């Protein structure tokens, strides 16, 4: 670096340091590192693919005594609620888009807080943790380490920015009150169904394609895509993980891996979370892998997540996958 350039960098660094965090949005010294090749599957490049269509005509789901018209299904302001009798009455923000308001939570997190493939599950997360995360999405301290290609994270950021404080608190109280339920099936294998990225940047099966070697990665797709697309609240995801991943992950979680900080020391003895700390058991492996890398890379930053920096600092990509496979396989 030549001298004037060095001086300019120094002045810039000083200016950054002088910036009061109260006055400006926090500035990042450098962009977070994108995922390494071994984790690229968790951040598939979202192609300019068309949005999937609902099947034409009225729809029903097995075991649910209800027929939904195609107009109801396609109403962007009100995601269909198939089982209103099986959850508490949701606050408006969960199920209705007010004029000019954000997309309703249930569109992606369902009314029972189980994640659409690619989104996080919210049922039973601590309320304080949910409101804190909404604030982090708003503040810019929670982005994706592969920001340009993550339409789903961008959508969540847009939702958080569109919420009033009251709506955020109501949505958090609602989802925190719901019971956690299993929605992930973890399968150890060498070959998995072939998958590709879809419009939102998450994996979906390639119809009629032959199975592919997993090569140390993970394929995580909707267990039943047509039912997931209709937002059947009883559906979930299947994650194909490398052989041996669950046992290796269990050892890492127990010992705390290279940092020797057992995950349960903060996330609760059964990994089901506690005040301010989210549960890890039974969560989507693809989501967990993204979060562990986003935290490690600094894409998720701020005071609360700082506690995670030591536990993730020396984890290798393969260890991150093993940990996520084990956690996903636990009963939530």
Residues that bind ligand HEC (CB under 6 A): 93, 103, 105, 107-109, 118-120, 122, 125, 129-130, 132-134, 144, 152-153, 155-156, 159, 163, 171, 253, 256-257, 261, 263, 265-267, 277-278, 280, 287-288, 290-292, 304-305, 307-308, 311, 323
* Separation between Cα atoms, residue 281 and residue 268, nearest integer Å: 10
Query: What is the rounded CA–CA span in Å between residue 291 and residue 193?
Result: 24
* β-sheet bridge partners, residue 268: none
Any residues with CB less than 8 A from the CB of 11 and at least 6 apart, and which? none
List CB contacts of 76: < 8 A, sequence separation 6 or more: 97, 103
By C-beta, is 192 or 280 nearer to ligand HEC?
A: 280
Tokens for 328, please give them.
Answer: 């996903």
Owner of token pair 């900080």 = 261
CB 317 to ligand HEC: min, Å: 14
Lookup: tokens for 145: 């380490």
Give the nearest distance from C-beta 270 to ligand HEC in angstroms: 14
CB burial of residue 188 (10 Å; 0-12, 13-18, 19+): middle
Q: Which is nearer to ligand HEC, 7 or 107 (CB)?
A: 107
User: Which CB, 12 or 109, lies closer to ligand HEC?
Assistant: 109
Nearer residue to ligand HEC within complex by CB, 68 or 295: 295
Q: Closest CB to ligand HEC among 229 and 292?
A: 292
For helices 285-297 and 317-329, give the axis angle rounded to 10 degrees: 140
| In the complex, least distance from residue 185 CB atom to ligand HEC, rounded to whole angstroms | 19
Rounded least distance, CB 91 to ligand HEC, Å? 9
Residue 202 CB partners (closer than 8 Å, separation 6+): 44, 117, 118, 152, 220, 286
Nearer to ligand HEC, 118 or 217 (CB): 118
Q: Could you tell me the smallest distance in angstroms from the CB atom of residue 153 to ligand HEC?
A: 4
Instruction: For the CB of residue 205, give the shortest distance to ligand HEC in the complex, in Å.
Output: 19
């Amino acid at each position: 670096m030549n001298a004037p350039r060095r001086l300019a960098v120094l002045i810039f660094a000083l200016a950054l340091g002088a910036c009061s965090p109260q006055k400006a949005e926090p500035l990042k010294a450098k962009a977070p590192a994108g995922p390494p090749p071994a984790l690229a599957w968790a951040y598939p490049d979202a192609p300019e693919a068309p949005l999937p269509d609902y099947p034409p005509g009225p729809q029903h789901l097995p075991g649910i005594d209800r027929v939904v018209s195609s107009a109801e299904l396609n109403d962007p302001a009100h995601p269909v609620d198939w089982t209103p009798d099986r959850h508490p009455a949701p606050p408006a923000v969960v199920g209705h888009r007010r004029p000019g308001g954000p997309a309703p939570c249930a569109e992606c997190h369902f009314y029972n807080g189980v994640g659409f493939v690619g989104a996080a599950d919210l049922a039973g997360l601590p309320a304080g943790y949910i409101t804190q995360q909404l604030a982090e999405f708003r503040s810019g301290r929670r982005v994706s380490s592969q920001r340009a290609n993550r339409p789903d994270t961008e959508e969540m950021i847009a939702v958080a920015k569109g919420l009033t404080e009251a709506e955020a608190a109501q949505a958090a109280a609602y989802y925190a009150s719901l019971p956690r339920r299993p929605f992930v099936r973890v399968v150890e294998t060498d070959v998995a169904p072939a998958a590709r990225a879809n419009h939102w940047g998450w994996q979906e099966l390639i119809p009629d394609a032959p199975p592919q070697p997993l090569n140390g990665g993970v394929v995580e797709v909707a267990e039943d895509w047509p039912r997931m697309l209709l937002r059947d609240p009883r559906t979930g995801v299947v994650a194909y993980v490398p052989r041996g991943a669950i046992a290796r992950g269990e050892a890492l979680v127990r010992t705390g891996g290279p940092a020797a900080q057992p995950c349960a020391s903060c996330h609760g003895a059964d990994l089901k979370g506690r005040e301010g700390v989210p549960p890890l058991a039974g969560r989507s492996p693809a989501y967990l892998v993204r979060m562990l890398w986003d935290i490690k890379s600094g894409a998720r930053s701020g005071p609360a997540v700082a506690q995670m920096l030591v536990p993730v600092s020396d984890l290798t990509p393969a260890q991150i996958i093993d940990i996520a496979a084990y956690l996903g396989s636990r009963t939530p």
